[in-house]
Amino acid sequence: MTERIVVLDRFPDEASAWIARAVLQAGGIVSEVLVDRPYVWPLPVVRLAVRADDAAEARRLLEAQRDASA
């Protein structure tokens, strides 16, 4: 059986997504940075995906990181 993958968040740039991925990795959550570079639009679309089962905990970790950074 395959696991369901969900997009957790979208980011304005790749660096922000990789930082978020590092936060999740430190919390034991596997994630993947997805970058789409369409030919008709000059800016890439950057997303962070996780397993559906990990989504709630991933959101909690990222929210805690954002609160700590503020």
Whole-number CA gyration radius for the chain: 13
From 45, 6, 15, 69, select the one nearest 61 (Cα to Cα).
69
Split into its structural domains, the chain has a count of 1
24 vs 3, residue with greater confidence: 24
Write out pLDDT tens, residues 7-55: 999 999 999 999 999 999 999 999 999 998 877 777 788 999 999 999 9
**CATH number of 15's domain:** 3.30.70
How far apart are the C-alpha atoms of 28 and 34, rounded to whole Å?
A: 19
**Residue 69 confidence class, pLDDT cut points 50, 70, 90:** confident
Q: What pLDDT shows up at residue 43? A: 79
Residues 6+ apart with CB under 8 A from 38: 44, 45
Domain containing 57 equals 5-69
How far apart are the C-alpha atoms of 55 and 69, rounded to whole Å?
A: 21
Model confidence, pTM: 0.85
